[in-house]
Amino acid sequence: MKKCVIVEDDLAAIEVVRFLAAQIEGLSVVGAFTSAQEALDFLNIRQDVDILFLDIHLPEMNGFTFLEALKPSPKVVLTTSDKNMALTAYDFDLVVDYLVKPLQKDRFMEAVSRC
């Protein structure tokens, strides 16, 4: 069973990711956060998370600052409406995919298969 965490500033976006994740056998959502700091605290204590679905534009810090502060190293799938950060994303080894909203089921499944 792969464990994933969702970090999105918007509850509706969390629900979309949760819905898509629920359709993948063997993938379980163990945490969902609208607060980047709470997510960091959770992830830095619980180090068994395999996949992190992470929005880039979060109120407290952006997704890249978040990744710099993250101690464990789950695979990261960025989920964003901003198409202009993909080049920056390549600077982060943990990032395996970059999904542009609205999220598509096939593309989401492929991202998970890369993790």
Partner 1 sequence: MNCIIVDDQESARLVVRQLCDGIEDLDIIEEFSSAIEAIKFLNQQTVDVIFLDIHMPGFTGFDFVQTINNAAKIVLITSDKSKAIEAYEYEAISDYLVKPISQERFNKSIQKLKNTLRRSPSIPHDILSGQLPGNDLYINIDRRLTKLKFDDILFIKAKGDYIDVKTHKEMYVVHSTLKKIKDKLPDNIFLQTHRSYIINFTKIIDIEDNSVLIEKNVIPISRSNRPELIRRLNLL
Judged by the rule CB under 8 A, the positions of this chain that interact with partner 1 are 2, 24-27, 83, 86-87, 89-91, 93, 97-98, 100, 109-110, 112-115
Tokens of 90: 């390549």
Give min distance, CB of 37 to partner 1, in A: 27
Contact partners, residue 101, CB within 8 Å, separation at least 6: 13, 79, 80, 81
By beta-carbon proximity to partner 1, the closer residue of 26 and 59 is: 26
By beta-carbon proximity to partner 1, the closer residue of 32 and 89 is: 89
Give min distance, CB of 60 to partner 1, in A: 25
Assign 90 to helix, strand or coil: coil
Give min distance, CB of 17 to partner 1, in A: 15
Give min distance, CB of 35 to partner 1, in A: 27
Q: Which of 84, 35, 83, 89 is nearest to 59 (CA)?
A: 35
By beta-carbon proximity to partner 1, the closer residue of 61 and 100 is: 100
By beta-carbon proximity to partner 1, the closer residue of 60 and 94 is: 94
Phi/psi of residue 66, nearest 5 degrees: -55, -50
Strand partners, 97: 77
If you ran DSSP here, which 8-state letter would residue 23 be given? Answer: T
